[in-house]
Amino acid sequence: MVSNMNLEDYLFQLNWMMTIEVDAEALNNEEAIGNVVKPRTITLRDGLARNAMSGAMVKRVFVKKLRGLCTPEELCPTCRIFSPMKNGEVEIDENLSASGNRVKHCVICDATGFMNAGKQKNEKRFSTTKNSWAIAKQPGFSENAIYTRVDPTHEGGKEKKTKGERESEGNTNGDQNTQMLFYRPVRSSEYGLVFSIDLHRIGFDDEKQMYILSKEEIIHRIQLILTAVEQTFLDIEGAMMNVNHPHIRSIKGVVTEKTNRFQTALKISPLNEQYIEENLSASDVAYELPTISALMERTKAYKDTDFLKTLVTRNMNFIEQHFKEEEKTKEQEGKEMKKRGKKQ
């Protein structure tokens, strides 16, 4: 992989295009109408509704995995409690931007970005990880399973006769029937999912254009984030896991690399039947992932400490050389303009 790396740049982006075959799941639901739970669907340009999991749900699974991998010291106060708000107090370093201070103190803020508006300075960061909706490749199987909820007031085999007998500590609704039917979705689909990560922006202050963590800290964060991406594919979660834990049949796909500004980050969707072949043939660097074990081996290679040490060292050197030189040039131009202004 090191041989694929462009040493005259600092970009390094990974793009996974995956298909995940899942049976008997109810991972993402849209609304409840009466006693019927409506599952999440999306209508594509062919006019057919497909089973789907929203991008927000996929990102939530990823963040949950990442949070579980981090220690409390590696997270800001709001991410420790799994809050979407990013207004917790963090230690301020005057050499960093407002967003850079949050990046410095929190792995999740670094990986997923944030928008904290309403102050004198807006704290904002574009997410370094990006994901699509998970969309069924074909119109998937879906049906409503019927469940019953038993009224807990029926005791000792006696029939309920009075309102008082229909009430208990567990149920004080005197009008409730002995049983109530309700309907939950059970779905089976082969989902297509795209996931991207900008490795070069981990530990990077976008506004100050500088790395704000040590080499070792950046390597550690990248390893955590890559592990969370892998777990998002392999241990996908969502709604109704208590009784609808999904059956994962297979996971396969392809991963592509972008290592310089002039490459095109090819991301042919898994909804395309030939997506693996097209991504492999048209990408500068791509690897097929035909099995779960292949996915795990490729992730392990990207998490290799020696590889990441080479990557991060290259990135830091490039930023130091090119961005600092650009700052010096602008500073010099500013001084010359002031001199010319004084002479005039």
pLDDT digits (tens, 9 = 90+) for 287-303: 999 999 999 999 999 99
CA-to-CA separations, 55 to 195, 238, 309, 310, in angstroms, rounded: 10, 12, 32, 33
What pLDDT is attached to residue 200? 97
In this structure, what token pair is assigned to residue 309? 């040490």
What pLDDT is attached to residue 156? 47
Which residue ranges in the chain fall short of pLDDT 50? 153, 156-158, 166, 177
Closest CA to 37 of 239, 289, 219, 298: 239
pLDDT digits (tens, 9 = 90+) for 202-250: 999 999 999 999 999 999 999 999 999 999 999 999 988 888 899 999 9
What pLDDT is attached to residue 191? 96
What pLDDT is attached to residue 173? 59
Residue 157 DSSP SS3: coil
The residue type of 46 is D
What pLDDT is attached to residue 94? 92
What pLDDT is attached to residue 141? 72
User: CA 167, CA 160: separation in Å to the nearest integer?
Assistant: 10
What pLDDT is attached to residue 2? 78
47: left (phi over 0), alpha (psi -120 to 50) or beta: left
